[in-house]
Structure 1
């Protein structure tokens, strides 16, 4: 009833009714013979009115589809039949003409329906490609597993419009499916349906078979009912495997509280999306493995630097100090020989310069201040050393409550500042550098600004490689390994600012 009221309230319906009333008036209230300037036998009959009845039939097909067109055609024929048998002086001819109009009207309805069906099909194909491209763009825009799962679910929920949507990922160690992201799950269901074993329920069956599993009504197939369906009291269920190179990495699960027939188009679309998400998940896991190995290499590198710095400080520097002291004693004994004294002074100066260079090298390798006093003291030591080496005015500003960070975080931020200051000294021609460190409850921000010549910042990483800016790549990677973000802002003639934010 509500649907009929909705149809009757549409403007197109009122226009069609008005057309039928007008054509009925012309069909019954005009004379059989008309006096027109161009008169012919064809126009002296009511064939024209009968043909014109095809117009509302076509309009109804466009407005209400094939069923609406057939209903309008039936109404038009019922309107024409009384004249055929009661009023027409040529009933047989009128009947043939009416039948011809019915056949032509049906062909018009069929042609319009075919055209509209092809149009809808083209729109569905275009929408499918747009959807796949949108999902591909979303999932390839990040290398974080949680962000990939959440972004893909948002887009899929928007398209398919289901009550529950979940992504389960297969754990390599336990070989269990673990809930990674969800939309529409209740808190109780999250607890009950966090893990599945391969082969358990719809979700586990999709993993084992590698093919989509769909049930329009779980009450018709109770053996397929999974804990997720039980917990959310859903009726229809669809599980699509997330695959990459024929390997199942997880499952996309969709559920609805009402019986629903998932169409073949839905299955094809979700299978294609599952393939894209699967590739993105594999890339994210490879990236996470690379980050893990990079962290291990960085830690090993820092440990090796610490060992070398300790050995140089404990052995080489101490021996150089002993040599310097003995040279001083020898110079005192040979004061009467000017030539010997001169050579000893040269040797002593060379030893002192080597000692200073070695101490600076040890400081660059691994400053003991960083381990003993923390990040801020090490940063102040770096800026003071920059002033002594290059006469660049430096300023360190610290905001927030200063605290110690994890060793890898302190080392990472220290190395980023070290590279930024080295770039300012070597390339920027700067006279002033400002370092700002801000301690916030959940992150630490650091900014290094100079008033140097600046440069064009490339938006792509591979451009940095081709131009030889490997130090900038190292800064980006160190920030990324810490789970943070590094931004470089610079323009020719306007200096450079390096900003880094790291969660703690």
Structure 2
């Protein structure tokens, strides 16, 4: 009897040890899952670029899975096709050719059903797609989990080993949790990417509209110069000749001669006004000599007759930009000069143009009466604020930023800057201050 009791105690002790070991094993599994989830969460936290999230997320998953290879397939909505966006340890041939329709193969079924799959050996799985690729890649153990955001499956994450029976159900649970977390991050990144692309499309459309507007301005200016301006110039010359002939005539009519002189004077004034309109529509000097020369000419012609002293400073090496870029920048400066002339009551104004290798910036300042910028949040019915809105639109179309700083009684400064890439600039000229 004592012997039986001893055996019973030994069995109970062994059973207790097994239970403790089992509890410890469960605790280890939960701890491993928690650590894995935390590691991936920390790695992708703060990331907004889709490819960065996918790559870093996948790298961390493969480290957790110890020796595994794999990739992330995203679902292309229009074609309902899964394709590898990022992968590690797989050949380029495998990743490029393994494109699956929704419901096709293992990954296609996972994406369609939203349920994870664990295979001990995918190379012998009848429902697997492209067994030839799987065989040449040497893939055996395989896990595929959906990447979900709410109820939407955005893709799948595939993790594989070249050793059969490499993964456990615990691994599936861990990857499933990580997949849900990645799915949410992917959705946010995709929304950011769509928003960025939409903004880029709007920016390109705005730039195309501004280019079309500038072309129309150039066409009208050219027609005014070639037809109206030339005709007015001819009429003025003919009137001048008539005045001279009438003065030399033996039958001088003072009233007639005076009338001719007035018509001649009016014609000359109209010709000057047409020339001014042509210059405002599209100054020829902008095409021939560039932005700096056009700004100098316009600023001095507009402000000096109003007794507003203007200084123009060019910093860095002056460069020619594409015609549409120079036109947009000139319009911004032209609008600011117009505001100084019409509204500022300034005595002095300054224009600074700064050429840097990767950026061009400008500022137009005056010492006039200023205004309360906070009250000008949109274009008013009177048209007030249209110039600032136009400036933001033009600079925004070039991928730049702009702003206005002003206080009542303390003058106004308008500034703008645009990025300069190698594709946007050409030619070089030395800039000088004046």
| TM-score tier (shorter) | 0.5 to 0.7
Q: Output aligned runs, 1:89-488, within 5 Å.
A: 148-149=49-50, 162=61, 197=99, 199=101, 209=111, 220-221=121-122, 223=128, 240=147, 259=171, 261-262=173-174, 266-335=178-247, 336-458=252-374, 463-466=377-380, 468-488=384-404
Contact 1:443 1:501 in 2 (8 A): yes
Displacement after TM superposition at 1:489 (Å) = 2.2
Displacement after TM superposition at 1:366 (Å) = 0.9
In structure 2, the residue corresponding to 1:341 is in which secondary structure?
A: helix
Contact 1:201 1:224 in 2 (8 A): no
Displacement after TM superposition at 1:358 (Å) = 0.9
- 5+ long unaligned stretches in structure 2: 1-19, 25-37, 64-70, 162-166, 421-434
User: Larger relative CO (CA 8 A, sep 6+): 1 or 2?
Assistant: 2
Contact 2:363 2:413 in 1 (8 A): yes
Q: In 2, distance between residues paired with 1:291 and 1:478?
A: 9
Distance of aligned partners of 1:466 and 1:314 in 2 relative to their CA distance in 1, 3 Å threshold: closer
Q: In 2, distance between residues paired with 1:433 and 1:309?
A: 28
Q: In 1, distance between residues paired with 2:96 and 2:271?
A: 62
Contact 2:105 2:129 in 1 (8 A): no
Of stretches 291-300 and 411-420 in structure 1, the one that deviates more from structure 2 is 291-300
In structure 1, the residue corresponding to 2:321 is in which secondary structure?
A: coil
Please say which structure displays the higher CA radius of gyration.
Answer: 1
Distance of aligned partners of 1:188 and 1:478 in 2 relative to their CA distance in 1, 3 Å threshold: farther
In structure 1, the residue corresponding to 2:368 is in which secondary structure?
A: coil
Contact 1:206 1:212 in 2 (8 A): no
Contact 1:252 1:274 in 2 (8 A): no
Q: Output aligned runs, 1:30-41, within 5 Å.
A: none
Q: In 2, distance between residues paired with 1:207 and 1:498?
A: 58
Displacement after TM superposition at 1:220 (Å) = 4.9
Q: Output aligned runs, 1:4-83, within 5 Å.
A: none
Distance of aligned partners of 1:473 and 1:237 in 2 relative to their CA distance in 1, 3 Å threshold: farther
Distance of aligned partners of 1:209 and 1:169 in 2 relative to their CA distance in 1, 3 Å threshold: closer
Root-mean-square deviation (CA, aligned residues, Å) is 4.8
Q: In 1, distance between residues paired with 2:379 and 2:321?
A: 31
In structure 2, the residue corresponding to 1:465 is in which secondary structure?
A: coil
How many residue pairs end up in the alignment? 353
Displacement after TM superposition at 1:267 (Å) = 4.7
In structure 2, the residue corresponding to 1:334 is in which secondary structure?
A: helix
TM-score normalised per structure 1: 0.56
